[in-house]
Structure 1
Amino acid sequence: MSNQLRVHAALFLVTLIYAANYSLSKDVMPVYMTPFGIVTLRVLGASSFFALIKYFVAPQDKITGWADNRRSILCGICGIGVNQLLFFSGLNLTSPISASLLQTIAPIVVVIASAILLSEKITLPRVLGIAVGAAGAATLILSRNAQAAVYPHATLGNLFILANATVFGLYLVLVQPLMRKYHAFTVLARVFLVGAIIAVPFGWHDALTANYASFPLKIWLEIGYMVVFLTILAYLLNNWALKYASPALLGVYIYLQPVLAVLIAVGLGKDHLTWGKAGQAALIFLGVWLVSQKPKAAQVPAVAAVQNE
C-alpha cells in the first residue's frame, strides 16, 4: 500500500469515527454523565496511554528548547484542554447535525492562522471563502427551527462548537512543526499531559460522582468508544497525517464528516435534516472549498484533511 493510500485510509477511518460520535455522545450526555465528566475520562485515558507508549517506543526522544516547549504547551491548551471542554459542552446543547456542520469551519481558521503564523498567502478566492463560510456558520448559529423545544440552548451550543473549531484550527497549525521534528508519541504524550492539567479540574468531581452502577452495557461501550477510538486512535491518525500534508491543504474529508454524521444521526433517529440546514451546509462547504484552493504557483499534489473532536 502506497503512503498516499495509507493517508487516505487513515483519514477516512478518522472521519467515520468522528461522524458516529455526534450521535453516540447523545446517549451518554447528560443523563449518565456530564460533558466535563466525559472529557475527564477521555483525557486521563489518552494521556496515560500515550505516556506509557512513549516510554517504550521513544524513551530518548524529548522536546527541547524553550520555543518547542512553549509551542507544545500551547498545543495542549488549544488542541486538548480548551478544545475538548468546548466541544462536549456545545454538543450537549445543540443537535448532532448542527455540531457536525460547524466543525467544517476549522479549515477556514487553519488558513487564517497559517497566513499569520506561517506566512501563507491569502488569495481573493480565499477571502471570498472566508466570507461565505462565515455567513453559512452565522445563519446556522442564529437560526431557530422546529427542534428549538428539544435544544432550547442550541445557539449557545453552536457558539461553543464554533469556538471549539477555532481553537482546533489553531492547534493544527501550531502542532505541525512539532510532528515533523519529534516522534508522534512524544508530541501526543506532551499535549495530552498539558490538556489533562487544563481539563481535569473542570470534570474531576463529575467523573467521581457519576452513578456508574446504573450504566447499561450500551453506555459503557459508548464511553469506551469515546476514550479508545475517538481520542487515542483518532488523535494518533490525525497527527500522523500532519507529517505528510500541509494543514492548509484540506480536501474532501472535511466535507465527508458531516455527510456521514447526518446519515448516522438520521438513521439512529437522533436528528432531522431540513432544507434550511442543507442550505447552510452548502454555504459552509463552498467557503471551505474556496479557502482550500492553493495559489497556482504553489500547488501541491497531495490533498489531506485533519478533523477534530
Structure 2
Amino acid sequence: MNSRGFAIFALFMVQVLYGLNYTFAKTVMNENFVKPFALTVLRVGGATILFWLFSIWLPKEKVEQKDYFKFFIAAVFGVAINMLFFLKGVELTTPIHASAIVTITPVIILILSSIILKEKITTLKISGVALAFFGALALTLFGDSEREGDNIILGNTFILLNTFFYSVYIILIKQLTAKYHPFTFIKWLFLFGFFMVLPFGYNELQEVQWQTFTPYISFSVLFVVIGATFGTYLLNPIALNKLKASTVGVFIYLQPVIAGLFALIMGADTIDTLKIIAMVLIFSGVYLVTLKPKKIN
C-alpha cells in the first residue's frame, strides 16, 4: 500500500473508532458510572501516559522553543475545549444526533483551509462535499434513535461548538505535522491538555465508584481512552502529513454511517431504504474527495 493509500486507510479507521465511541461513551455517562468531565480527564490522562510511554522507543526529536507555544494553543482547541464540549454534548444528546452534527466540520475546514492554508478548492472536491453533505443531512433529518438525552438542544449546541474547535485544531496541526513526527507533538499536546482539563473533572473523578464497574463498562472506558483517543490522535496526524486538511475533514461524513451501523448491530436502530441511500451518498462523496486531480501537461 502506498503512502497515500495508507493515509486514506488511517482516516477510515479514525472514523470507525469515533463512530463506535458515541455509543460506548454515552453508555458510561448515562448509566452514571463516570460523568462527562471525569471521563474527559480519564481520556486525556490515559492517552497522555500511552503517548509518553511509546515515545521512549522512538527517536528523540528536538522541539524548537517557539513551537511549544503552538503546541499549547493546539492543545486548547484540540484537547481541552474540544473534548469537554464533546463528552458533555454526547451525554445530553443521542449518538446519531451527535455523529450527524459533526458532519459540518468539512464546511468549516474548507473555509479555514482556503483562508489560512491557501488550499485550492476544486470543483471535484466541492461536488464530493455536497454529495456527502446531502447524505449526512438525510440521516440527520430522518435518522432515529431509541435513546433520548436529557436535553437534546443543549447537547447538540455543545457538539456544534466542539465541531468548530476541532476544525480549528485540524488547521493548526497541519503545519506542525509537516515539521515533527506525530508522537513528538502529540505527547506534548496531551500533556498540556491534561493539565487544562484536570480542574474541570477533578471533583467528578472523586465521585467515581470503581468497584461498581461491569466488564462492559470497563471495556467501554478503555475503548474511549485507547481507541477513540490514543488511536485517533495518532492516526489523524499521519493522514494529515500526506493529505490536504480539507480531505481529512470530509471523512467525518462516515461517522453517522458507522454510528448507525453499530446501533443496528447493538439492536438500537433499524435499517431502511432511506438510510441505505444516505450511506451510498456519503461513501460516494468521500470517494470523490479522495480522488487525486489529474495533472494537465
TM-score range, shorter chain: 0.7 to 0.9
Q: Is the 8 A contact 2:96 2:144 kept in 1?
A: no
Residue type of the alignment partner of 1:102: I
More displaced stretch, 206-215 vs 252-261: 252-261
Q: Post-superposition shift, 1:123?
A: 7.3
Superposed displacement of residue 4, structure 1: 2.9
Equivalent position of 2:213 in the other structure: 215
Note the C-alpha offset of 1:252.
6.8
Does structure 1 retain, via aligned residues, the 8 Å contact 2:7–2:243?
no
Distance across 2 between alignment mates of 1:150 and 1:225:
23
Which residue number in structure 2 is paired with residue 7 of structure 1?
7
Residue 62 (structure 1) shift: 2.8
Q: Give the equivalent residue in structure 2 for 1:48.
A: 49
- Seq. identity, %: 33
Which residue number corresponds to residue 37 of structure 2?
Answer: 36
The answer as to 2:89 corresponding to 1:114 is no
Q: What residue is the counterpart of 1:156 in the other structure? A: 154
Residue 63 of structure 2 aligns with which residue?
Answer: 63
Q: State which drifts further: 146-155 or 6-15.
A: 146-155
Unaligned runs of 5+ in 2: none
What SS does the corresponding residue of 2:206 show, helix, strand or coil? helix
Question: Given the alignment of the two structures, is residue 23 of structure 1 paired with residue 23 of structure 2, yes or no?
Answer: yes
Q: 2 CA distance for matches of 1:10 and 1:133?
A: 19
Q: What is the TM-score when the length of structure 1 is the normalising length?
A: 0.79
Match of 1:170 among 165, 168, 171: 168
Task: Rate the CA distance shift 1:160–1:275 in 2: closer, same or farther, 3 A.
Answer: farther
The total of aligned residue pairs comes to 292
Distance 2:16 2:133 in 1: 25
Amino acid at match of 1:33: V
1:97 and 1:271 in contact (8 A); partners too: no
Q: Which amino acid aligns with 1:45?
A: G
CA distance in 2, matches of 1:261, 1:145: 11
Partner of 2:183: 185
Is the alpha carbon distance of 1:10 and 1:145 closer, same or farther for their aligned partners in structure 2, counting shifts above 3 Å? closer
1:56 Cα deviation after fit: 3.7
- Compared with structure 1, are the counterparts of its residues 147 and 6 closer, same or farther at alpha carbon in structure 2 (3 Å cutoff)? closer
CA deviation string 1:135-183 (max 9, x = no partner): 9999999x89987993341111111111111111111111011111112
The structure in which a higher percent of residues are helix is 2
2:80 maps to 81
Judged with a 3 Å threshold, the aligned counterparts in structure 2 of structure 1 residues 78 and 276 are, in CA distance, closer, same or farther, namely farther
Aligned AA (2:58) = V
Q: Distance in 1 between matches of 2:171 and 2:294?
A: 17
Q: Which residue of structure 2 aligns with residue 100 of structure 1?
A: 99
- The equivalent residue for 2:90 is 91
1:292: Cα distance to partner?
Answer: 5.5
Q: Distance in 2 between matches of 1:77 and 1:248?
A: 21
Equivalent position SS for 1:150:
coil
SS of equivalent to 1:98: helix
Structure 1 segment 269-308 matched on structure 2, within 5 A: 269-271=267-269, 299=293
Q: How does 1:132-143 map to 2 (within 5 A)?
A: none
CA contact (8 A) 1:58 1:183 kept: no
> Where does structure 1 differ by over 6 angstroms across 4 or more consecutive aligned residues?
123-141, 143-149, 272-279
